[in-house]
Amino acid sequence: MSAKINFPSARAAVSTAASAAATAILVRSIARDLLPCELRHYFYTKFHYLFTTLFSNKITLTIDEFDGLNKNQLFYAAELYAGSISTRCCRVSLPVKEKIIRVALGGNEEIADEFAEIDLKWRFVTEKSQRRRHNSYPGEYGGTTSEVRFFTLTFHKKHRNKVIDEYLPYVLNKSKTLKECNKTLKLHTLRSERIHGPGITPWQSANLDHPAKFETLAMDDEMKKMIVDDLDRFLKRKELYRKVGKAWKRGYLLFGPPGTGKSSLIAAMANYLNFDVYDLEMTDIRSNSELKKLLISAANRSILVVEDIDASIDLTERKLKTTSSSMHPFHQPGHKVTLSGLLNFLDGLWSSIGDERIIIFTTNHKEKLDPALLRPGRMDVHVHMSYCNPCGLRLLVSNYLGITEHPLMVKAQGLIGSSKITPAEVGEQLLKSDDPELALQGLIEFLEVNKEGEGNCEQGISKLKIVSKKDELAN
Ligand SMILES: Nc1ncnc2c1ncn2[C@@H]1O[C@H](COP(=O)(O)OP(=O)(O)OP(=O)(O)O)[C@@H](O)[C@H]1O
Ligand SMILES: [Mg+2]
């Protein structure tokens, strides 16, 4: 017995295929016309779910951009991580105020990864939705359409726990490192206008592009090393701080005459640590509670700076409290930041707000500060920024003129020890000519004029002004 199979003719086959295709197109177009977008999406998702769960040994995790109203940290970590391993289709962008181009996984693109012999597939998906309202813009249906963005991560079912317990924390850690490398340092200052509301920060920021580094700072070498070592130790001591029950922060007091490099040292520390700087202008902060809000909204791994602390807060509060019963308006509750508010911020309960923070106060008059402010735990490290010494001069000459040896430098070094000249003044003199000979000659004249004042710097400068005036007239 033999079976006979009748094959359809080629013409019949083509016509059947054509009619099937036409039916499919018809069904699709009816579905598109009759079913609303969300319903279509619903069917698609269910269909997809059936295939991926019932008939597959794979599991897919979805990482949404938002968790309710809050941003989902995992999404942003995945964005950085997947962007770093993506080799085919990438989205690149340069956000406003940033300097480094960001690379992220392209839309609906799939990328493979491997972790502890587990094969994983990342996919970045964007969808338009009328239900969810993030990134809203006027949509094709007249209402507001928003873009929903999420990642999917697919892998074998049996690795579910390992992926959640080990791989995702690994992605989070990796993304932190990537974020640090790509970070553009920011200087945050208080907004001039107070706008309140969820998600609105009281800070406005600009790129911190200060060129100061420890290598360019003219200061005592031992002091420099002590600061760098102290910062390194601080970064490593998260667990120790927790163990001894201390908030993970460190206070620095930088004191010394104007122009000795206090602000430059802050910039050098920020560049070294890769930490943003928050400039706390105390005279603009209206109350202790506003100070508290500012602290809450400042990021971790940052440097909080209060410049000229003696001029920006009334440090007589404690004395006044004991000597006078009538209170100055400055000290009335809720008005301006008080010394006790500041002390609370340094090591009271508020100090536990935020982690890994450096707090720096600067002053030209350390003697004016309340001893309570200066004790360890509040200001842990005191750094005296002083006048320029021969070693500092050598470094500045090398930075500004690019030379390390010159006969005139020896003379200048001999003079600088006996005059109270700041590194800022030395720098100013060295900028006056590109010719090292002329610049050093000018510096020596400046030092000689100021030496006559026997350490009275202001007298020396005023003399120099007279000399310059004469020079101008002679020209
Ligand atoms: N120690 C230093 N090393 C290198 N450059 C310095 C140093 N000190 C000052 N300068 C130069 O002088 C300029 C002014 O210094 P800076 O603003 O850091 O001084 P300051 O101590 O903060 O002064 P003030 O007390 O007035 O705020 C800097 O931009 C830098 O060019
Ligand atoms: Mg300064």
Residue-wise pLDDT tens digits, 393-444: 999 999 999 999 899 999 999 999 888 899 999 999 999 999 999 999 999 9
Q: Which two tokens stand for residue 363?
A: 């002053």
Q: Identify which of 278, 287, 246, 271 has the alpha carbon closest to the alpha carbon of residue 378.
A: 246
Number of alpha carbons in the 13 Å side-chain half-sphere of residue 167: 23
Judge if the beta carbon of residue 423 lies within 6 A of ligand 1.
Answer: yes
Nearest listed ligand to the Cα of residue 399:
1
Distance 307 CA to ligand 2 centre (A): 7
Per-residue confidence at 339, pLDDT binned at 50, 70, 90? confident
Nearest CA to ligand 1 atom 26: 258
Distance 262 CA to ligand 2 centre (A): 5
Distance 424 CA to ligand 1 centre (A): 5
Average pLDDT across the chain, whole number:
79
- Helix ranges restricted to H, 402-456: 407-416, 423-430, 436-452
CA distances from 395 to 270, 311, 399, 434, 436 (A): 21, 32, 6, 17, 14
Judge if the beta carbon of residue 364 lies within 6 A of ligand 1.
Answer: yes
Q: What is the pLDDT of residue 168?
A: 97
CA distances from 422 to 224, 395, 412, 427, 473 (A): 17, 13, 14, 9, 28
Distance 3 CA to ligand 1 centre (A): 99
Residue 270's H or E segment, with its range, is helix 262-273
Residue ranges and CATH numbers for the domains of the chain are: 34-132+142-181 (no CATH), 188-316+334-385 (3.40.50.300), 390-463 (no CATH)
CB burial of residue 16 (10 Å; 0-12, 13-18, 19+)? exposed
| Mean pLDDT, residues 68-89 | 85
DSSP string, 301-323: SEEEEESSHHHHS-TTHHHHHHH
Strand partners, 358: 250, 303
Residue 48 reports pLDDT greater than 80 = no
Rounded to two decimals, the ipTM of the complex is 0.99
Report the 10 Å Cβ neighbour count for 326.
Answer: 5
CA distances from 247 to 239, 264, 293, 410 (A): 11, 27, 18, 48
Judge if the beta carbon of residue 148 lies within 6 A of ligand 1.
Answer: no
Judge if the beta carbon of residue 263 lies within 6 A of ligand 1.
Answer: yes
Nearest CA to ligand 1 atom 18: 261
